[in-house]
Amino acid sequence: MKNLAPAIFPPKGIGDAKPGNEAVLDWVHEIAILTEPENIFWCDGSDRENEFLIAESLKQNVLIELNQDKVPRSCLHRSNPNDVARVEQFTFVCTPTKDEAGPTNNWSEPRETYAKLRGLLKGAMRGRTMFVIPYMMGPPDSPLTKIGFEITDSKYVVLSMRIMTRMGEIALKRLGNDSHAEWNRGVHSLLDVNPERRFICHFPQDNTIISVGSGYGGNVLLSKKCFALRIGSYLARTQGWMAEHMLILGVESPEGRKHYVAAAFPSACGKTNFAMLIPPAHFKGWKVTTVGDDIAWMQIRDGGLYAVNPENGYFGVVPGTSYKSNPNAMRSIAHDTIYTNVALTDDGDVWWEGKNGPPPAHAFDWRGDNWTSQSKEKAAHPNSRFTTPMRNNPALDADIENGEGVPISAIIFGGRRSDTVPLVYQAFDWNHGIYLGATMASETTAAAAGAVGRVRRDPMAMLPFCGYNIGDYFQHWLDIGKRLTNPPLIFNVNWFRKGADGTFLWPGFGENMRVLEWIIDRCEGHGGAVKSPIGWLPSPHDLDLAELDIDHNAVDELLGLDHEEWQKEIAAHKEFFDSLGSVVPEELQKQRDQLVGRFKL
Ligand code: OXD
Ligand code: MN
């Protein structure tokens, strides 16, 4: 099994950053007794440690060297072909009762699950190294910041966590030696990378995650989906803040007025592209900056919502990334990046479908097999990924380390919908906005194992990531609203609407600036809109479409409401709420009745 490398023995001064916190030491001791590793490697996140681990990974084929002139300090990792995406069917929320996990999560009884996982982990690290990774989520001086530890037997995980989180000494310092301090316990073992022994289990009440049998990022970089979203959302509810699957971007007008917006789109629906948007030439003087591309932790301050990005790097979808679609991402991943499951060219460069330039005549595909430009199969896996430090991003926002967070003027929901849903519209108020989020839907993508292109409801893009009962989650949004005297405005967007010929009506990418400008106009109290049954809709002249090559009919279609399609849509909302049973708050049922009523006016 190519991922299962033998133990490594570092030279003195590497792998010995043992924390002083007794609670952490006791926990590590307990896991070591269970998994029986050859040795324990205490990570400190230093450059020296990183260089040592990269060298060992190259020796053991965990990483493949790339041409350092083409992609400096970057490597390629190939995951097991059976292990290329998040596995929602093997992801569990283990709350004391099934009700606490709710209708959208797989539930499993905590005591039995711990016992099953202990059985799988028994002796799992024999002959191998157990790494202990201390990490911090959030800027160093933020009240929102949290500490986690991940134990893993994968060097790929250690190297990736160093990019994705603030790892090592900085986390140990923040935690300190108080044995009652709050921190997340994460245990990961590759086992034998067998889909039959693959379980991603969350124990929110214990602030604990156990992930076995996978080496794919979304299942094993426990800081991300597991801690920052599933456990994070549970902690957020009990502690009165919000953990959301949202990008955060800053947008500054030529006059220097700056707003921040947070946007929830499902996996692989363009969050990274939107967060790194470059305004088209027509928007001279406008600047978009990135705070985060995937996760927002938000707190209430002065009656408004303030957000931090808990992460330190981007774990983004590679295919389709080009200088046309996302120049800032291309610049970010040009160096110091770990690529996973892309193709390798004969001159040691990386390649994927949608990259600039013609495809190479020959390459090794994501599995390492020969591939030619005539091959029918894709060279890069559709869910191949980059792991890159956020500091590589030329458009990184200046306030990324601001512990108070950035003030959020607008929240945007959006999915991938070929029909029905207009390019953009605005909710009437906070509670109506929650209804838009709760009923949003998207055509499924390769980010999760399973069928691609099926419309599924994905409330707030949190369906796979909400770590507790979705009804309580909706109620939490309603409760937060009661505490906001200056709430963000809420919008819905759909970049993916198609015409009768099956092609996209909207050009997307940088041109989304035109929609963003309307959103900012609305936040500032100007910007025209017409009242429609679903919310405030711009009419074509409310959007700045100058110097855009788009047909008038396409614009009408993009901003139009087809009443027949909406009757089906509202029926689908009802079906979705019915499928959740009695957990949906009364207020959201009321919102649906009002929507039905507005269509009858
Ligand atoms: C991701 C996802 O990897 O949402 O960000 O699947
Ligand atoms: Mn995501």
Please tell me if the CB atom of residue 591 comes closer than 6 angstroms to any atom of ligand 1. Answer: no
Three-state SS annotation for 437-483: HHCCEEECCCCECCCCCCEEECHHHCCCCCCCCHHHHHHHHHHHHHH
Please tell me if the CB atom of residue 218 comes closer than 6 angstroms to any atom of ligand 1. Answer: yes
Q: What is the pLDDT of residues 516-551, one digit of tens each?
A: 999 999 999 999 999 999 999 999 999 999 999 999
Please tell me if the CB atom of residue 365 comes closer than 6 angstroms to any atom of ligand 1. Answer: no
CA of 545 to the centre of ligand 2 (A): 30
Taking 50 as the threshold, does the pLDDT of residue 2 lie above it? no
Q: What is the pLDDT of residues 262-297, one digit of tens each?
A: 999 998 899 999 999 999 999 999 999 999 999 999
Q: How confident is the model at residue 117 (pLDDT cuts 50, 70, 90)?
A: very high
Please tell me if the CB atom of residue 154 comes closer than 6 angstroms to any atom of ligand 1. Answer: no
Which ligand 1 atom is at minimum distance from the Cα of 447? 6
Taking 80 as the threshold, does the pLDDT of residue 464 lie above it? yes
Partners of 363 in beta bridges: 345, 371
Q: In degrees to the nearest 10, what's the CA dihedral of 292, 516, 459, 442?
A: -100
Q: Please give the distance of CA 159 from its chain centroid, rounded to a whole number.
A: 19
* DSSP single-letter state for residue 379: S
Q: Using an 8 Å Cβ cutoff, are 334 and 162 in contact? A: no
* DSSP single-letter state for residue 524: T
Taking 90 as the threshold, does the pLDDT of residue 451 lie above it? no
CA of 502 to the centre of ligand 2 (A): 27
- Residues of 88-117 as b/e, b for ≥16 C-beta within 10 angstroms? bebbbbbbeeeebbbbbbebbebeebbebb
**Of the candidates 29, 38, 197, the residue with the CA atom closest to the CA atom of residue 119:** 197
Q: What is the pLDDT of residues 333-349, one digit of tens each?
A: 999 999 999 999 999 99
Q: What does the pLDDT read at residue 149?
A: 98
Nearest CA to ligand 1 atom 2: 267
12: Cβ contacts below 8 Å, ≥ 6 apart? none
Q: Using an 8 Å Cβ cutoff, are 73 and 161 in contact? A: no
**Of the candidates 331, 393, 406, the residue with the CA atom closest to the CA atom of residue 139:** 406
- Residues of 13-32 as b/e, b for ≥16 C-beta within 10 angstroms? ebbebebebebbeebbeebb
Mean pLDDT of 113-131: 98
Taking the CA of 91 as reference, the closest ligand is 1
Q: What is the pLDDT of residues 350-402, one digit of tens each?
A: 999 999 899 999 999 999 999 999 999 999 999 999 999 999 999 999 999 99
Distance CA 355, CA 313 (A): 21
Q: What does the pLDDT read at residue 1?
A: 46
CA of 538 to the centre of ligand 1 (A): 31
Which ligand 1 atom is at minimum distance from the Cα of 85? 6
Q: Sign of the C-alpha dihedral, residues 546, 551, 554, 556?
A: positive
Partners of 512 in beta bridges: none
Q: Output the six-digit token pair for 221.
A: 């970089």
Q: What is the pLDDT of residues 190-235, one digit of tens each?
A: 999 999 999 999 999 999 999 999 999 999 999 999 999 999 999 9
Which residue matches tokens 């060992």? 56
Please tell me if the CB atom of residue 316 comes closer than 6 angstroms to any atom of ligand 1. Answer: no
CA of 85 to the centre of ligand 1 (A): 9
Distance CA 132, CA 181 (A): 18
CA of 407 to the centre of ligand 2 (A): 22
Residue among 247, 315, 452 whose CB has most ligand 1 atoms within 8 A, to mutate: 315
Question: What does R_g of the chain's alpha carbons equal in angstroms?
Answer: 24
Taking 90 as the threshold, does the pLDDT of residue 4 lie above it? no
Consecutive H or E run containing 411 = strand 406-414
- Residues of 216-228 as b/e, b for ≥16 C-beta within 10 angstroms? bbbbbbbbbbbbb
Q: Output the six-digit token pair for 115.
A: 């016992």
Q: Angle of helix 430-438 relative to helix 470-483, nearest 10 degrees?
A: 160
Mean pLDDT of 114-138: 98
Q: Output the six-digit token pair for 402.
A: 């601001």
Please tell me if the CB atom of residue 315 comes closer than 6 angstroms to any atom of ligand 1. Answer: yes
Distance CA 532, CA 303 (A): 29
Output phi, psi for 413, to 5 deg: -105, 155
3-class secondary-structure state, position 260: strand
- Portion of the chain with pLDDT greater than 90, in percent: 96
Taking 80 as the threshold, does the pLDDT of residue 164 lie above it? yes
Residue among 223, 267, 295, 456 whose CB has most ligand 1 atoms within 8 A, to mutate: 267
Please tell me if the CB atom of residue 86 comes closer than 6 angstroms to any atom of ligand 1. Answer: yes
Taking 50 as the threshold, does the pLDDT of residue 308 lie above it? yes
Q: What does the pLDDT read at residue 423?
A: 98
For residue 490, the one-letter residue type is I
Q: What is the pLDDT of residues 22-64, one digit of tens each?
A: 999 999 999 999 999 999 999 999 999 999 999 999 999 999 9
423: Cβ contacts below 8 Å, ≥ 6 apart? 493, 494, 495, 497, 505, 506, 515, 558, 559
What is the residue-averaged pLDDT of the chain? 96
Q: What does the pLDDT read at residue 570?
A: 97
Distance CA 250, CA 252 (A): 7
Three-state SS annotation for 126-175: CCCEEEEEEEEECCCCCCCCEEEEEEECCHHHHHHHHHHCEECHHHHHHH
Catalogue the active-site residues.
269
Taking the CA of 87 as reference, the closest ligand is 1
Residue 147 backbone zone (phi > 0: left; psi -120 to 50: alpha; other: beta): beta
Q: Using an 8 Å Cβ cutoff, are 546 and 517 in contact? A: no
Please tell me if the CB atom of residue 511 comes closer than 6 angstroms to any atom of ligand 1. Answer: no
Distance CA 425, CA 530 (A): 10
Partners of 290 in beta bridges: 249, 396
Please tell me if the CB atom of residue 458 comes closer than 6 angstroms to any atom of ligand 1. Answer: no
Consecutive H or E run containing 372 = strand 370-372
* DSSP single-letter state for residue 553: H
CA of 556 to the centre of ligand 2 (A): 32
Q: In degrees to the nearest 10, what's the CA dihedral of 146, 151, 152, 156?
A: 40
For residue 75, the one-letter residue type is C
Distance CA 468, CA 434 (A): 17
